[in-house]
Chain A
């Protein structure tokens, strides 16, 4: 049997790709199918005798579950605020650092530090060394400034702000580095031309810099949104979703339902909602991006 060169290449390509494809199907797609099935079951490990097929009961239950709607709301606040803060701060900082003649390398290295740390360790750092009342860094500063001592992670409203601050602290360097790389690659002559045209700083930024770095900014927005939607470890370490449910985004709620309250069926249904949100958001974002 003789085969053409093309055919042989196709066969070779499949041989190289199939193992990875099978591994991905086994570790991602198959579990998702199983998740969908689980979400139609009643699996309560604390009351195993009640387990059985539940149809859409878990989803029906969500409608009347205020804790679910609360977690959805928190997910929206958490995602939107962390992404906006990261992009705005990262962009401002990149523009700033680009203008300092020396020390850019030091800034880059400092920026890598938070990125490589495990989110769970970051959460623990903040919970103890940074935010704990009396001895935490932030509390020491606010006390020194006469603003008083606060229970940063114990007060419901402050706790939400704190976990948003933690995420922003850890991941603004991501936006900063990506935008800085994009800015550094711009040709300097565009700015010269604009300066000759007597464009002021804001006009130059608005009409020249921003359009040129838009691809980088869009990438940052997309990636940070996806990561914020799957945020877990830092919040888990800092507050565990508490106090009460005040920092319980959907991820935390699905986790607590499944592994603290041992109600895996309902937890799976919550995870399905999370998945649906992720899919819709990523689809919309890539659509918007391609439309440009």
Chain B
């Protein structure tokens, strides 16, 4: 493959125009095939969620079948309903997102704009905590929560989700605070507005969009979390990522119900991902871009 720009190789009097068009077509076909590779498992699961368990096992797999909503009915209201798990996920992800923003927004403002003592060291510390592998933390969490009787509680899981969401949210918010023009806060301070008032009435409205994007990503990560939930949760606190295993046992796999359950569990994050799609590159790389550049 060549460089990024479109190519025009008109060496012999531009008779290659049609050849070029063929090449473009070929490119689109290849790109389309790769697109299919990413979209297909999800679309396949979507299709499967409307099949009966018997249709799922047909060979060759049938594209034409009588669609049924019974899987969704079972998964939502049947004996193995994941409705409580969806509620559980919503509580855990919602509460931990709120808590994260409460800590992260002020801290990010201090890191981005104020004469914070030990600023570089603090920034580096936040970055380093983002690198920690969750498996390294799960053992102490388990032992401590067991000791204080907080296994299988919302409070325990919500606080612990700060480990991965807080460093991420701080760095993402720092990048938004840095975009606020300095003159704005200086003007506000000259008006003797006081620092709290300046932050609340002048700075925060400027980063509303950043807060929205941060909220989406933090919620998404918390919703998708599995390791902490499976070890520290239990019967009361059982997020939907853990509940997915209900459909798989040694004896049998309930394919269609698994697919329907997964669709319900993933619908919120797919929606959020699409809403925030233009910010996703920033959200994915924020720690590394910042941390490597300035420390």
Question: Which residue numbers of A lie inside 8 Å of B, CB to CB?
Answer: 6, 8-10, 12-14, 16-17, 19-21, 23-24, 27-29, 31-32, 34-35, 38, 43, 92-93, 95-103, 106-121, 124-130, 132, 134-135, 137, 140, 144, 169, 173-174, 177-178, 181, 183-184, 186, 188, 191-192, 194, 201-202, 204-205, 208-209, 219, 222-223, 226, 229-230, 232-233, 236-237, 251, 254-255, 258-259, 264, 267-268, 271-272, 274-275, 278-279, 282, 286, 289-290
Known: A16-B114, A96-B1, A128-B258. A27 touches B162 (CB 8 A): yes
A230–B134 CB distance below 8 A: yes
Q: Is the CB of A27 within 8 A of B159?
A: yes
Residue numbers in B under 8 Å from A92 (CB-CB): 1
Distance to closest chain A CB from B146 (angstroms): 10
Chain A residue, CB-CB nearest to B126: A24
Among A100, A109, A140, A205, the most chain B Cβ lie within 10 Å of the Cβ of A100
In the complex, chain B residues whose CB is within 8 Å of the CB of A282: 128, 131
List of A residues within 8 angstroms of B195 by Cβ: 8-9, 12
Q: Is the CB of B281 within 8 A of A177?
A: yes
> Which residues of the partner chain A approach B287 to less than 8 Å between Cβ atoms?
223
Nearest neighbor of B44 in chain A, beta-carbon distance = A129
Q: List the A side residues contacting B258 at CB < 8 Å.
A: 124, 128
Q: Which residues of B contact A93 (CB under 8 A)?
A: 31, 34
Name the B residues within 8 Å of A209 (CB-CB): 3-4
- Chain A residues contacting B211 (CB-CB under 8 Å) are none
Query: Contacting B270 at CB < 8 Å: which of A106, A113, A255?
Result: A113
- Residue ranges of B at the interface with A (Cβ–Cβ < 8 Å): 1-7, 24, 27-28, 30-32, 34-35, 37-42, 44-45, 48, 56-57, 59-61, 103-104, 106-107, 109-111, 114-117, 122, 125-126, 128-129, 131-144, 159-160, 162-163, 166-167, 170, 195, 220, 223-227, 231, 241, 244-245, 248, 253, 255, 258-259, 262, 265-266, 269-270, 272-274, 277, 280-281, 284-285, 287-289, 291-292, 295
Query: Secondary structure of the B side of the interface?
Result: helix
Q: Is the CB of A134 within 8 A of B140?
A: no
Interface of A is mostly: helix
Known: A121-B244, A255-B138. A264 touches B143 (CB 8 A): yes
Counting chain A CB atoms within 10 Å of each CB, which of B5, B44, B253 scores highest?
B5
A118 touches B241 (CB 8 A): yes
Q: Decide if A251 touches B159 in the complex (CB within 8 Å).
A: no
Q: Complex Cα distance A274/B230, Å?
A: 20
Which one of B59, B103, B274, B285 contacts A112 once the chains associate, using CB atoms below 8 Å? Answer: B274
Chain B residues with CB below 8 A from A229, complex form: 133
